[in-house]
Each structure stands twice: as structure tokens, then as C-alpha cells.
Chain A
Amino acid sequence: MGGCSTRDVIAAVRAGSEAVTEHRDELVRLDREIGDADHGENMERGFRAAVSQVESAPSETPGAVLKLVATTLISSVGGASGPLYGTAFLRAASAVGDVTELDGTAVAAALQAGMEGVTARGKAVVGDKTMIDALSPAVDAAKSAAGSGHGPSGVLAAAAEAAHTGARNTEELVARKGRASYLGERSAGHVDPGARSTALLLGTFAETTGVRR
């Protein structure tokens, strides 16, 4: 089982950016239903900027790549996804430290730290119809996969699957955080765009690391 190298993390960020671009219209549509319709555009802009940063500045470690992605998202995304994803990547970067390769346990720990960052920043809990509804089950699945000896791709695959289910389940929820919460009951019946983009990114990260093997 190979670990996840700096180059792998960069490849994952690039694939994440492509996935966000590919699903831009879907994210815009979801956000138009219950938000301000800027999620697709914001995510596309943020991740494009992140890719251009990580490709132009050489990073020594996975942590350094994650940190660069974090600061780029924070400074280039105007909506809530900037500070939220930015904080997630920043905390993930701190969690992995300066190792040169991530094993399954490190990936799970990075996801956990990322989720704690999002929680600290946005104060959302499970059931509020936010990205936490995708991220929280993903972290649980990742920890359990890492605990049973899976490497990065297995951990990410488990996380992605749980995140997809979690995102899908936001459809029936009434939003209690974020712009959608102003809609009250009317927010039910739509998948949360932040949960969707979280699942999308984790799915892409899982595919990228999986393809290598």
C-alpha cells in the first residue's frame, strides 16, 4: 500500500478543480433553489486559483499544499465556502504536519481536523442542512476504514461514499444555518449545495488516489 505523496495531493486538488468546474451548473442550480446561486461560481474560481497557486509554487509536503489551497480559497472565494473550505484545509494542513507521505490514518485525521475547523467557523451541527451533514459521516467512515487498516484510497473511498449518502439526505432537512435558513420550511426538498460539493470533492479525491494503484 502506497502512501499519499505531495504529488498525489496536488493531483487531487487539480482533479477537484476539474470536478467543480464540471459540476458548476449543478451547484449553481442547487444554490439558486435555497441560497444565493453563487456556490458553483465561487467554488470554480476558488479551486482554479488554488490549482494555479500549487502549480506555480513548489510545495515540499502534502501539508504545505493543503495550506496553500486554504489561503488561496480564503482570499479568492467571496461566499461562505471560502472561509469554510479554507478553514477545513488549514486545519487539515496542521493535522498532517510536515510528513512527506500520508497513510490512511493521517488522511482520516486530516478529514477530522478539517471538519472540526468547519464546525468552529460555521457553528453548524449535524442536521442543520450544511456541508457538515456530508463531512461528519465521512469522517466517521474514514476513521473506521483507517482503523481496519485501509490506506489513503480506501479511507477516501469510504469517506466519499458516506459523504454522498449524507449529502443526499440533506434533501429532506430544513436548514438551520446559512443563507438557506432564511427560507425555513421551504428549504426542505432540496439538496444542500455545500454538502453536495463536499461529497463531490471527496469522491474526486478518492478516485484520484484510487486510479494510481
Chain B
Amino acid sequence: MSVGLVLVSHSRRLAEGVAELAEQMAPGVRIVPTGGTADGGTGTDFESVSAALEEAETGSGVVLVYDLGSAHMTAELAVEALDDPSGAVVADGPLVEGAVAAAVAAQGDRDKDAVARAAADAVGTDTRQAATSDPESQQPGVVREEIVLDNEVGLHARPAALLSRSLTGMQARVTVALGDKEADASSVLGVMGLGAQKGDRIALRATGPDAVQAVQRITELADNNFDA
């Protein structure tokens, strides 16, 4: 069973809404929203967060994503109060993007630390304008490849997650570009944010000791239509 998620918000409705979004992307992941105080006001309630932690525990650990300051503190306290605090981790990251990124990572059977990292890395994953004149492009050691996407959904959630995951453990910095938009290949949300669809041509650019291997892996994935 994949890692479970707890979404801690000041507002129950906000937590439930985010859970709804994240479940769409990762239907197999146990996602437990919790929010509001015991008397129905806005805030966070230690007891409800503790109960949510218990409910989300699948045996593979739990990652908590929160919205604002005191939700963070309540989440940390609830983790510290567990019999085994190492079974859960509070992820720093924006609630909406972080929850979606974490859910996708959990769906891909990443362990809880990797899931928490996915949430944290969801900060600033907005696709950026690719630099028009990139000095690095003149340098040796930059590996480039262009791929035409043949799979049905393009770089949507699962293919994006597979692409990002294929780089795990590699010493390479890889970017994926579509037109003038560019994203860090290690960021699931960044890659998804490109909105690359079937038939689109994406450009890979890699640097680092494992650059060639990294580009090769992504090319193989695409050749297999991300059917890993």
C-alpha cells in the first residue's frame, strides 16, 4: 500500500477540496483531509489531526501537508505524539500544489521521505520562460535531445511522475522544454505544468556526470509510450 496523506488546513472545506483535487490525480492513495477546530471554527485541532494520522496510516508511513503556520505546529505536535514518530513526516510545501505532488509521488509508490520531498519541491515549480540565449548551450557536457510524444495523454500526471522518477539517483540536472516554457525534470508538477500533449515535441537538456544516461532513460520511456 502506498504512503498515506493527511491534509491539515485551518478550514475543513479547504482540506476536503484539496483532497478532492489530489484524489483525482492519485485515486489509489489514502488521503485524509482534516481542518477546523473541534467546535467548527477555523483553526487546527490536535485531536482531529491525530485521528487523521491514524486513519491515513497504511503501514507505509504518512506524509502531512499543511496550509498556514499553526497547522504546521499542530501537525508536528501530532507526529511527535505518535508511538513511533518516525512513521510520519510533515512536508514543507504549498498545500494545493504540495498535496497534488505528494499524492502523485505516493501513487508512484515512492517512500514517505520522497513523497514529502515531492511536496516540498512543489514550491516554485511554475514553468519558467526558457532563456533565449543560454550561455551553457555553448559549453561542452550539455546533452540535448528532442522527443515527439506519441502517448495518448502527453506529459500528464503519470507520465510526468514516471519521467521525474526515472532520474532518481542520477547525477544530472535535466530540463524539459515545450516551446518557450521550461521545467525542471525532477519536478512532477513542473513537467505537468508544461501541458505537453500527444504530438508535441519536447526538448530535453541535461548536464552533469550522468547527463547522457538521463536523457537516454527519458527517451526510452517516451519510446515505450510511458507504459512502464
* Chain A residues within 8 Å of B, Cβ to Cβ: 36, 38, 42, 74-76, 78-80, 82-84, 86-87, 121-122, 177-179
Contact = CB atoms under 8 A, between A and B. Distances in A.
Contacts of A76: 38
B43 A83 contact: no
Contact of B46 (A82, A122, A177, A178): A82
B42 A36 contact: yes
Interface string B144-182: 000000000000000000000000000000000000000
Interface in B28-76: 36-38, 41-47, 68-70, 73-74, 76
Given A38-B43, A179-B68, A78 B73 contact: no
B77 A78 contact: no
A84 B73 contact: yes
By Cβ-Cβ distance, the 3 closest A-B pairs, closest first, are: A78-B43, A78-B37, A80-B70
A143 B194 CA distance: 57
Contact of B77 (A79, A87, A177, A178): A87
Contacts of A179: 68-69
B76 A83 contact: yes
Contacts of B45: 75, 78
Interface residues of B, number: 17
B47 A75 contact: yes
A122 B73 contact: yes
B47 A79 contact: no
A177 B69 contact: yes
A76 to B, nearest CB: 8
A80 B42 contact: no
A121 B72 CA distance: 9
B41 A80 contact: no
26 contacts: A36-B42, A42-B43, A74-B77, A75-B45, A75-B46, A75-B47, A78-B37, A78-B38, A78-B41, A78-B42, A78-B43, A78-B45, A80-B70, A80-B73, A82-B46, A82-B70, A83-B46, A83-B70, A83-B73, A83-B74, A84-B73, A86-B77, A121-B73, A121-B76, A121-B77, A122-B69
A198 B19 CA distance: 37
Given A74-B46, A75-B46, A78-B42, A178 B69 contact: yes
Chain A CB within 10 A, most for which of B42, B73, B77:
B73
Chain B CB within 10 A, most for which of A36, A79, A178:
A79
A15 B76 CA distance: 30
B6 to A, nearest CB: 16
A76 B77 CA distance: 13
Nearest to B39: A78
Contacts of B43: 38, 42, 78-79
B29 to A, nearest CB: 27
A86 to B, nearest CB: 7
